[in-house]
């Protein structure tokens, strides 16, 4: 029998306590118990909440939930009783009001990932703490020209982010566009992973999980294991794919088919681009068109080597199959029936070309180094995760930027693992990778920095002032200090 940890009992609140009682009754399985998920079942999507007359008011309750996952009743976390939480659909110029209610046993808060909104007050303010039993009212005012696209929301209370996101607290945000391509249907695919024990309870993350960045043994699409998506030949679908995993990179392929890529993160390409595969770092999103052809295809995530700590911590730090290596089937796309009339081909986008900062006047150049090393005074085998040699301190400002200016940042990663870099509020234009200048306008809000590599970005600090953060989006690394504070003023 295995005792539940205090950390997990607090996280799960009432359901954690109930699980402890069940353990005392002999129903709690050991840490070595294996959970074998049942695959299949129909594809479902979260509830969709849309803005009306320029406003969307929602109440999000973060609570323990008991939901079926892969054929087992799982004890996890969710917003409004579901995993993922509801999808929030708004337009440029809208106001998004969210009342966050904390029914957990630990503090939480809410970050609207990728949205270009104010970080101050009750905006996208990661320094807010919503304590157990309390609530907080957020308000996000989107500019009329806010980039349309696929975004998402999740907790951002430092030290607890990985635990809460991996447990099920996340949901999609869609900023709709006026020039949407004609499609037979649109689907939202929110991809997550977690590890359960034999009873369906959340497995405790090990110290090694936290060092490497945990990768769950169960990979889900909208909370389901390998759901089946059905279509008729000739139909064109739009898939909005969100990588909410704590540390897992998704190298996606649709067996035997090509995708038409509309964009990644907030970016929309001038015209769809044919691609065979997509690489989404944790936090990235993709917007693709899929044309249905007769037959059955698997949506797969193939192995991506994001590095390891093996050279620094010994062979035990190598990730094996339990860390998610290998070929995963995420969903099945079944196409049959009478052929459908295909929608007209998507036109070249009529929207203005995205801003190109490569010719902008640069007010400052900075270098940010995301590093890992043996922690000072942390004990044998413990790692330290830093940016420019410092771990996160909410009371210290690491970077001060003049509002209205453009800066160029060189992002360095001398560590043996990839680090996906995320800057809140202000998107980044990638201008150089591995010393080679880009030949197109590429905007991201999560930029992957390969192991022992570097990426150069430019940022226009317009629209808003205030304190926010930048960090590694391997959320275990963020929780352990790989985050800095930026103040735009």
Structural domains in the chain, CATH included, are 6-176 (2.60.40.420), 185-335 (2.60.40.420), 357-488 (2.60.40.420)
Whether 354 contacts 443, CB under 8 Å: yes
Task: Kindly give, in sequence order, each residue whose CB lies less than 8 Å from that of residue 97, ignoring residues fewer than 6 positions away.
Answer: 55, 56, 57, 58, 137, 138, 139, 140
**pLDDT of res. 351:** 66
Residue 292, Cβ density class (10 Å: 0-12 exposed, 13-18 middle, ≥19 buried): buried
The residue assigned the tokens 């070595």 is 32
**pLDDT of res. 379:** 47
Instruction: Kindly state the helix (H) or strand (E) to which residue 208 belongs, with its residue range.
Output: helix 207-212
Can you name the residues that pair with 333 across neighbouring β-strands? 229, 297
Task: Reply yes or no: is the peptide bond before residue 84 cis, omega within 30 of 0.
Answer: yes
Task: Kindly give, in sequence order, each residue whose CB lies less than 8 Å from that of residue 50, ignoring residues fewer than 6 positions away.
Answer: 56, 89, 90
Under DSSP, the state recorded for 19 is: H
**pLDDT of res. 376:** 58
What's the pTM? 0.91
- Measured CA to CA, the distance from residue 187 to residue 185 in angstroms comes to 7
Q: DSSP assignment of 308-358, as one string?
A: -SHHHH-GGGS--GGGT-S-EEEEEEEE-SSPPPPPPPPPPP-SPPPP-GG
- Residues in the chain, pLDDT under 50: 1-3, 14-36, 313-324, 378-380
**pLDDT of res. 21:** 31
Whether 357 contacts 429, CB under 8 Å: yes
Task: Kindly give, in sequence order, each residue whose CB lies less than 8 Å from that of residue 417, ignoring residues fewer than 6 positions away.
Answer: 212, 213, 306, 307, 308, 309, 372, 451, 474
């Amino acid at each position: 029998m295995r005792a539940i940890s205090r950390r997990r009992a607090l996280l799960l609140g009432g359901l954690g306590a109930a699980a402890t009682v069940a353990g005392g009754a002999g129903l709690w399985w050991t840490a070595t118990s294996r959970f074998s998920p049942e695959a299949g079942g129909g594809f479902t999507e979260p509830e969709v909440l849309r803005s009306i007359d320029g406003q969307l008011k929602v109440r999000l309750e973060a609570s323990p939930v008991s939901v079926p996952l892969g054929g087992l009743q799982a004890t996890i976390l969710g917003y409004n009783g579901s995993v993922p939480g509801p999808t929030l659909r708004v337009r440029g110029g809208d106001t998004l009001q969210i009342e966050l209610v904390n029914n957990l046993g630990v503090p939480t808060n809410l970050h609207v990932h990728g949205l270009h909104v104010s970080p101050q007050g009750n905006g996208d303010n990661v320094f807010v703490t919503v304590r157990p039993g309390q609530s907080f009212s957020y308000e996000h005012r989107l500019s009329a020209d806010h980039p349309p696209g696929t975004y998402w929301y999740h907790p951002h209370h430092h030290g607890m982010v990985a635990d809460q996101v991996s447990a099920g607290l996340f949901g999609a945000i869609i900023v709709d566009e006026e020039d949407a391509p004609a499609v037979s249907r649109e689907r939202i695919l929110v991809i997550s992973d977690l590890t359960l024990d034999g009873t369906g309870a959340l497995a405790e993350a090990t110290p090694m999980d936290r060092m490497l960045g945990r990768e769950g043994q169960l990979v889900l699409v909208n909370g389901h294991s390998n759901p089946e998506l059905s279509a008729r030949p000739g139909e064109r679908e739009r898939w909005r794919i969100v990588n909410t995993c704590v540390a897992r990179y998704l190298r996606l392929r649709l067996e035997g088919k090509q995708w038409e890529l509309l964009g990644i993160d907030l970016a929309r390409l001038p015209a769809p681009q044919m691609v065979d595969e997509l690489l989404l770092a944790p936090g990235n999103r993709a917007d693709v068109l899929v044309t249905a052809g007769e037959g059955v295809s698997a949506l797969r995530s193939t192995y991506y080597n994001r590095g390891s700590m093996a050279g620094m911590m010994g062979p035990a730090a190598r990730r094996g199959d339990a860390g998610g290596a290998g070929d995963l089937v995420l969903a099945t796309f079944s196409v049959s029936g009478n052929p459908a009339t295909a929608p007209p081909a998507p036109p070249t986008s009529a929207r203005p070309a995205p801003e190109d900062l490569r010719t902008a006047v640069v007010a400052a150049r900075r270098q940010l180094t995301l590093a890992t090393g043996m922690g000072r005074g942390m004990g044998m085998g413990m790692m330290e995760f830093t940016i420019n040699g410092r771990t996160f301190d909410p009371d210290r400002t690491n970077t001060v930027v003049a509002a209205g200016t453009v800066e160029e940042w060189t992002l360095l990663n001398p560590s043996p693992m990839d680090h996906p870099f995320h800057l809140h509020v202000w998107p980044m234009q990638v201008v150089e990778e591995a010393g080679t200048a880009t030949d197109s306008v590429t905007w991201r809000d999560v930029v992957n920095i390969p192991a022992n590599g570097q990426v150069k970005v430019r940022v226009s600090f317009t629209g808003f002032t205030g304190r926010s953060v930048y960090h590694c989006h391997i959320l275990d690394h963020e929780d352990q200090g790989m985050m800095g504070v930026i103040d735009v003023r």
